[in-house]
Amino acid sequence: MPLLTLHRAVVQPGWVDYNNHLNDGYYTVIFSDATTALMAHIGLGPAERAATQHTLFTLEMHTNYLLEVKGGVEVRVDTQLLAYDVKRLHIFHTMHRGDEAEIVATNEQMLMSIDMRGPKGAPWLPPVLGRIDDIWRAQRDLPRHKNAGRSIGLPPKKV
């Protein structure tokens, strides 16, 4: 299994700025929708969430805007599992124009399994963990994008 392609979207007129460029907040919406698609893929879709009271919360997110995306363009999001533990997922999304290989934006997220009866962090349910294990086995040897693990900050001033 290469990267997962679970989400595509067409940039809507209300998502663009005065230059007809995708507004920065809507990159986040598209990446968030890709995470929702990943949730369904691992067994945390709407029916499973209702039945089990388990879901995902986003703990942290970092987005890099690399190339412009114009209104009306279809984008796709590919997803890579970078790491996981008993209740967290570390994922990395890349956004592309249609079926092009060139990456227009990246988004890194730390997600946590939540039992909504608390709500509190909770270990993965066994069926969900099985799907996560399958993804990990298929993707663990894939290279990481250079933006994975990147932090934000200004370099120290030279004296």
Q: What is the DSSP letter of 102?
A: S
Residue 156 inside a domain? The answer is: no
Predicted confidence at residue 1, as pLDDT, reads 56
Predicted confidence at residue 83, as pLDDT, reads 98
Number of domains in the chain: 1
Residue 71 inside a domain? The answer is: yes
Predicted confidence at residue 94, as pLDDT, reads 98
Mean pLDDT in residue range 1-26? 95
Residue 19 inside a domain? The answer is: yes
CATH number, residue 112: 3.10.129.10
Predicted confidence at residue 114, as pLDDT, reads 98
Q: Is 92 helix (H, G, I), strand (E, B) or coil?
A: strand
Predicted confidence at residue 131, as pLDDT, reads 98
Q: Is the pLDDT of residue 155 over 90?
A: no
Residue 145 inside a domain? The answer is: no
Residue 155 inside a domain? The answer is: no
Contact 145, 107 (CB under 8 A): no
Tokens, residue 19: 């230059």
Q: Is the pLDDT of residue 59 over 60?
A: yes
Q: What are the tens digits of pLDDT across the range 118-143?
A: 999 999 999 999 999 999 999 999 99
Torsion sign (Cα): 102, 105, 106, 107: negative
Contact 33, 118 (CB under 8 A): no
Banded model confidence at residue 28, pLDDT cuts 50, 70, 90:
very high
Query: Residue 135: which domain range?
Result: 4-139
Residue 124 inside a domain? The answer is: yes
Residue 123 inside a domain? The answer is: yes
Contact 96, 55 (CB under 8 A): no
Strand-pair category, 88-97 with 74-84: antiparallel
